[in-house]
Structure formats: structure tokens, C-alpha cells
Amino acid sequence: MNPIFEFYNLIFYQPVLKALLFFYKNLKDFGLAVIFLTILIRITLFPLDYKNKKEQEKFLKIKKEIEKIEKKFNGERKNKEILALYQKEKINPFFNLLSFFVQFPILVALYQVLLKAPNQLEPSFFGFLNLSKPNFFLVLIAIFLQWFYFKLGSKKTEKITSFQTQLTLFLVPFTFLILIKLPSAISLYFVSSYLFLIFEKILFHV
């Protein structure tokens, strides 16, 4: 096996799979196992999420100053002035990228686990909902929570409301088209994840 895939399997995929199996074994319900796994992953990623959102807030505060620098200077001088502004405001312009590279393989592993697990375990949620097949109502709930989460974010970042609107208009139908074809275990993950993120935003104001 490729060393990169071995590393991914050992560090990301296997821990996510084992966590799901642990919750499934103890809770005796696949749906509850998915919910608790989602909560565990969101708690694990919370420090990165929190730091990431604080960096975004700092960036929004200096956005007008950056625009002034871009109009006033060119080339290397412009880059030096912007970098100096970042240093003054203690902003790490590469943190978002670092956060992405940490979170992305975890979420990919979660997606792979939830895609395969319903075919290997009893995929029921409270004994009546089959999480191995798409579920229209779960998809609708996931879409609504996604929209509501972005709505909360746009209230706090009025300067980029137009961007938030465009992003929401793209993501909502895109998410629907993806989830409606996938096992509803993934829709349940979306529902649980956005509920956690909404709670996180309200409680910690991020």
C-alpha cells in the first residue's frame, strides 16, 4: 500500500471507524452511533473552528485598510505593507489553509465510514428509519439547518452578506443534490453537525 494511504488509514480512517463501532456496540443503535460520532468529531475540531473564525473576524476588521493599501501601493511594497498589517493585528494569513489540511482528511474519513458502514451494520435509527437508503425528510432538515447556520453567520458579518448569499444559493441546492443520492446516515451526520455548529455559534459567538 502507498505510504500516504497507509498514513491516512492509520491516523484518520481507522480511528473514525473504531469510534463508530464503539458507539454502535454500546448504544445498540446505528443512528445514535452516528450522532455521537458527529459530536465527538465536532468537539475534536472545535479548537480549530474557533481559532479559524476568530482569524476571519480579525481579517474583516482590517479589510478596508487592506483595500486602501492595494489602491495606494503596487508590487512588493503592497505585499510588505499588507504583511506588516497582519503582524500588527496578529493575524496568521495561512491559518485557514492549515485548518483545512487538518480537517479535510478527518471529514473524508467520516464520509467513507458512513458510506460503507450501513452495509456492514444494522442501519436502523430507533428501529424504524433505514439509514442505508436516502431519506427525503432528513435531507430537507439538513438543508434547512445549513441555510439557518449561514443565516446566523451573515448577521454577524454584514460586510460580506452578498458573498454569504451567493455561497448559500450555491451550497443549498448542491447539498440537496448530493444528499438525496447518498445513504441517509450522511444526511443524519449533516443534521447533527449543523445543530452542533449552530449551538457553537450561539454559545461562543463565533
Q: Which residues does 186 contact at the CB level (< 8 Å), separation at least 6?
A: 111, 114, 115, 179
* For the chain, counts of helices (H) and of strands (E): 9, 2
Of 71 and 46, the structure prediction assigns the larger pLDDT to: 46
Of 183 and 153, the structure prediction assigns the larger pLDDT to: 183
pLDDT at 160 over 50: no
Task: Return d(Cα 34, Cα 184) in angstroms, integer.
Answer: 11
Q: Is 18 helix (H, G, I), strand (E, B) or coil?
A: helix
Q: What is the mean pLDDT of residues 97-124?
A: 88
Provide the pLDDT confidence category of residue 139 given band limits of 50, 70 and 90.
very high
Least confident of 19-33, 160-174, 183-197: 160-174
Provide the pLDDT confidence category of residue 147 given band limits of 50, 70 and 90.
confident
pLDDT at 137 over 90: yes
Name the DSSP class of 142: H
What cell numbers appear for 167 in the block? 455561497
Domain ranges of the chain: 3-204
Provide the pLDDT confidence category of residue 68 given band limits of 50, 70 and 90.
confident
Task: Please tell me the pTM assigned to this model.
Answer: 0.83
